[in-house]
Amino acid sequence: MATVVSPVADICRAAKRAARELARTDTATKDAALEALAAALAERTPEILEANERDMQAGRQAELGDALLDRLRLDEARIAAIARAVRQIAALPDPVGEVIDGRRLPNGLDVRKVRVPLGVVAVVYEARPNVTIDAAALCLKSGNAIVLRGSSSATHSNAALSQIAAEAVVGAGLPAGCLSLVAGGGREELTELARQSGSVDLIIPRGGEGLKAALQEVATVPVIYAASGNCHVYVDASADLDQAERIVINAKTQRPGVCNAAETLLVHAEVAERFLPRALRSLGAAGVLVRADERALALADRHQATLSEPRAPQVVVEAATEEDWAGEYLALILAVRVVDSQQEAIEHIARHGSGHSEAIVTRDTAAARAFQLGVDAACVFVNASTRFTDGGEFGMGAEIGNSTQKLHVRGPIGLRELCTYKYLVEGDGHVRD
């Protein structure tokens, strides 16, 4: 059973044993296990929903807020979507054993660089119970054992999902211990997990800056941070304003409580008078609170004063503070600034961005190229919403998170990103002179 409370070290040692067997498991067995997992999610949906409702009730009593409750909530459609993602992962090519590079050396040795699993991956995450299954499916398909540690807000959901998943995949032939949950939301369990350097090969935290800071203080295991997203949309002087409006509204409002939602809108001064009134009207209709710099605030005041229809949507606009440019709201709040040049927009992003996802709306090819080269982020979009930063959207089936680091993994963490490599060298009695 995945949810048995046992010492963290014991769980990790069992995962290490399972990882050695998983590394040798054939693709057909892994795919059959994922198919069994997807089927189990469908069959046991009522059980999952009952557990999730217990978490939702506790969350409402704790006044978690709409964005967090949305991330916590499961329903039949979301569970069906999670099961589809599992099947999509099963259908993807197995990265294990892929030859990345190969050549024969002048001395006759054959050298192949081959993709292999990392071993044991621990995933630490907040609120979102779907991560339990997404992370498990990705790790198992890539030949890794997984140790899950969710947040206290999703205790019952994670327990139900991890138990169902472990029973399904072990029943389909994967080794016991390949999928386990560290029960308990205390800081002590997190610290102990982060120090299992003898059995855990990698930790991936998926959550806010608080979780990141907590791990930075104690971790001895290597960490890839699936960090927060302070994402920007920059509307260039040459932008198609219809496109720009659709992209801004989608990036901010389609799902505001996620890391690839836009938090800041930057608008070139040459189009600000034409673009901001219409954008503010749409943002107001969507219930977005705007925190604006002086020039954007003046345009907003002028827009409100010229409204001829008393029932026209009115956006609430406040003066932005310096803290607003660096914030990740995860809510229907958008910081807005007018800039005098593309370079000023790039410099603003460099100063305040988190390296997650940035977008430019422009019809100028040179401006698009300059933005792509000048912005330092995992994902840079031209004429598209930041909401597309997602493993599923990128054809990876799902993702564990979006890495804003530059070593080993950057961007969505999918199957290949959960692998390392080894060199396989074959000779015929070769010895070195």
* Tokens of residue 147, six digits: 């140790």
**In the structure, what pLDDT confidence band is assigned to residue 304 with cuts at 50, 70 and 90?**
low
Average pLDDT for 4-16? 86
DSSP assignment of 111-170, as one string? EEEEEEE-SEEEEEE-S-THHHHHHHHHHHHTT-EEEEE--GGGHHHHHHHHHHHHHHHH
Residue 1 has pLDDT above 50, yes or no: no
Helix pair 269-285, 241-253: axis angle to 10 deg: 50
Residue 401 has pLDDT above 50, yes or no: yes
DSSP assignment of 170-197, as one string? HHTTPPTTSEEE-----HHHHHHHHT-T
Angle at 182 between CA 180 and CA 185, to 5 degrees: 150
* Tokens of residue 292, six digits: 């604006």
Distance set, CA 422 to CA 17, 96, 97, 116, 232 (Å) = 20, 11, 10, 7, 38
Average pLDDT for 239-251? 98
Residue 405, pLDDT score: 87
Any alpha helices (H) in 44-75, and if so which ranges?
45-61, 66-72
46-60, 114-128, 401-415: range with lowest mean pLDDT: 401-415
Separation of alpha carbons 43 and 45, rounded Å: 6
Average pLDDT for 212-221? 90
pTM: 0.86
Residue 268: phi and psi, rounded to 5, are: -65, 140
Residue 325 has pLDDT above 60, yes or no: yes
Average pLDDT, the chain: 93
**Closest to 383 measured CA to CA, from 401, 399, 365, 407:** 365
Q: What pairing do the DSSP bridges indicate for beta strands 110-117 and 419-426?
A: antiparallel
Residue 4, pLDDT score: 45
Residue 232: strand pairing partners:
264, 358
Angle at 234 between CA 228 and CA 238, to 5 degrees: 160
* Tokens of residue 169, six digits: 């995949």
Domains and CATH numbers, the chain: 8-226+400-426 (3.40.605.10), 231-388 (3.40.309.10)
pLDDT digits (tens, 9 = 90+) for 33-56: 999 999 999 999 999 999 999 999
Residue 100 has pLDDT above 90, yes or no: yes
Separation of alpha carbons 26 and 73, rounded Å: 35
Residue 185, pLDDT score: 58
pLDDT digits (tens, 9 = 90+) for 146-178: 999 998 999 999 999 999 999 999 999 999 999
pLDDT digits (tens, 9 = 90+) for 354-363: 999 999 999 9
Residue 3, pLDDT score: 46
